[in-house]
Structure 1
Amino acid sequence: MRTDYHMHFEKGSYDENWVEGFFTAAKQRGLGEIGISEHSHTFPEFKSLYYEDLVLDDSFIGKFQQQWLKSNKFKYTIDEYFAFMHKLQKKHNVKIGMEVCNFQDQGKVRDILKDYDFDYLIGSVHFLHGWAYDSSEIKAEWDKHPLEDIYEWYTEEVEKLADSGLYDVLGHPFNIRLFRYLPDFDVTPYLVRAAKALKKANMVVDVNTGTYYRYPIHEISPYPDFMKIAAKYELPIITTSDAHKPEDCGNYNQMAVDYAKSFGYTGTVRFDKRQRTFTSFDLE
């Protein structure tokens, strides 16, 4: 069965007519099941965590991030999200997830999420020392940091997410390649550290086509070097599109499946109430 568990409604609203496009695209691309994983910045419950963690001073990145937090953020409560998803579940086979940023206080995250019956939770590294490194508007910040530091910071954040015990999936692993800042040093130790952390936490790898069609790197995350290590450590996977618009649901899913197969993967996992089962790519 083909699935896609990483997508967001944030470019639109909780309007059934608008989100129906996700299900239309899923059907057109042969997906048997999808899941919605709204960003944590959708929800006011997380607002204080963003203001605690992000650089918000008068610097180049601080000024941008101040405006970013005021744009289309914190507009639905988690209760409103669940109510809308339950309405959709009356018509569609859709799972309820969330993509949570790598906040430094994971204890607060646990308190926010503990009363909700999610099917799965994705933990993703979106900030390095308070900097939203995947924002093209502040891409110039990359030139201020040695790439060795970036890899160390990123790996440390993966380890923290895994150590929290909160998450089922690591979102778009090693997408720090997204602007084509490519290392000329051996990154294997970082990749192995990340894989070991995921293995210990029993987490799944997100094979994500978003970096292929949305960023200059034009490759699936994680890239081949990490996929080899993920396969070696027998880390399960999901294949996802990271869709932010209805028409992108399941985008390049076949490419993701073929990519995973090239590393020996024969299927993905499905989630239900934080429990997972294996399903073959070729199972209808």
Structure 2
Amino acid sequence: MRCDYHMHFEKGAYDENWAEGFFDAAKKRGLGEIGISEHSHTFPEFEPLYYENLILDDSFVGSFQKKWLKTNKFKYTIDEYFAFMRRLQKKHAVKIGIEVCNFQDQKAVAQILRRYPFDYIIGSVHFLHGWAYDSAEIKSEWANHPLEELYGWYAEEVEKLAASGLYDVLGHPFNIRLFKNIPDFDVRPYLERVAKAMRAADMVVDVNTGTRYRYPIKEISPYADFMRVAAKYDLPIITTSDAHQPEDCGRYNAEAVDYAKSFGYEGTIRFDGRKRAFEPFDP
């Protein structure tokens, strides 16, 4: 079976007719099961954490991020999300997930998450020292930091996520290559740090095609060097599309499965109520 557990409704609304497009695309691409993992910035419950964590001064980065927080954010409560998903579950096999940013106050995150019966929780590094590094609008900020420093920051953020014990999956590992910032130094210490933290926390690798079709790097995350390390540490995987609109559900999923197989992986993880089961890939 092939699955896709990483996608978002944020480009649309909680409208069943619009959401149906995700299931149509999943069927066309031969997926056996999908899951929705709404961004934490969909929900007002997380709003204070964004204002605590992001650079929001009058700098180039801060000015953009202040506008970003006012655009299509915090529009549904988590209760509204569950109510909508329960309606979808009456017609479809779909899991209820969430993708949470790397907030510094993990105790506050835990207080929010523990109130809801998610099937799985993705933790993703979206900010480095308060900067949304994956935003094309402020990508010039990359030039202001040595790349090795950013690898160190990234590994540190993963270690914090893993140490919290809150997350089932690390979203799009090492997507810091997304704007073709390719290191010319030895990255192995950073890859090993991340893999060790994930192993200790029993976290799953998100083999994510979003960077394949949404960013200049045009490669699946995590890239091959980390996939080899992940396999060495026996980290399980899921294959996902990071779809933000219906037609992208399952996009390049078959390619992601072949990619995972090339590193010795034979199947994916399926989630149900935070419990996991191994599901072999189709022959």
Shorter-chain TM-score bucket reads: over 0.9
Partner Cα distance (1:184, 1:232) in 2:
23
- Alignment correspondent of 2:275: 275
Q: Please show how residues 95-110 of structure 1 align to structure 2 within 5 Å.
A: 95-110=95-110
- Confirm or deny that 1:189 pairs with 2:189: yes
Q: CA deviation at 1:216?
A: 0.2
Deviations 1:109-148 (A, max 9, x none): 0001111000000000000000000000000000000001
For 1:70, the aligned partner's letter is K
Q: Please show how residues 1-284 of structure 1 align to structure 2 within 5 Å.
A: 1-282=1-282
Q: CA deviation at 1:282?
A: 1.1
Partner Cα distance (2:167, 2:139) in 1:
28
Partner Cα distance (2:181, 2:23) in 1:
35
Partner Cα distance (2:90, 2:245) in 1:
22
For 1:156, the aligned partner's letter is E
Partner Cα distance (1:72, 1:189) in 2:
38
Partner Cα distance (2:256, 2:137) in 1:
28
Partner Cα distance (1:12, 1:160) in 2:
32
Partner Cα distance (1:85, 1:124) in 2:
22
Partner Cα distance (1:241, 1:253) in 2:
7
Q: Gaps (5+ residues) in structure 1?
A: none
User: If the length of structure 2 is used for normalisation, what is the TM-score?
Assistant: 1.00
For 2:196, the aligned partner's letter is K
Q: Secondary structure at the match of 1:152?
A: helix
Deviations 1:16-46 (A, max 9, x none): 0000000000000000000000000000000
The percent of aligned pairs where both chains have the same amino acid is 78
Partner Cα distance (1:270, 1:221) in 2:
19
Q: Secondary structure at the match of 2:67?
A: helix
Q: Gaps (5+ residues) in structure 2?
A: none
Q: Secondary structure at the match of 1:92?
A: coil
Q: Secondary structure at the match of 2:121?
A: strand
Q: CA deviation at 1:198?
A: 0.3
Partner Cα distance (2:140, 2:279) in 1:
42
For 2:168, the aligned partner's letter is D
Q: CA deviation at 1:13?
A: 0.1
Partner Cα distance (2:32, 2:245) in 1:
19
Partner Cα distance (1:148, 1:244) in 2:
30
Deviations 1:25-80 (A, max 9, x none): 00000000000000000000000000000000000000000000000000000000
Partner Cα distance (2:68, 2:223) in 1:
28
Q: CA deviation at 1:183?
A: 0.5
Q: Secondary structure at the match of 1:179?
A: coil
Partner Cα distance (2:139, 2:207) in 1:
24
Partner Cα distance (1:282, 1:200) in 2:
29
Deviations 1:158-217 (A, max 9, x none): 000000000000000000000000100000000000000000000000000000000000
**How big is the alpha-carbon RMSD for the aligned residues of Structure 1 and Structure 2?**
0.5
User: If the length of structure 1 is used for normalisation, what is the TM-score?
Assistant: 0.99
Partner Cα distance (2:215, 2:115) in 1:
36
Partner Cα distance (2:237, 2:229) in 1:
13
Partner Cα distance (2:193, 2:161) in 1:
13
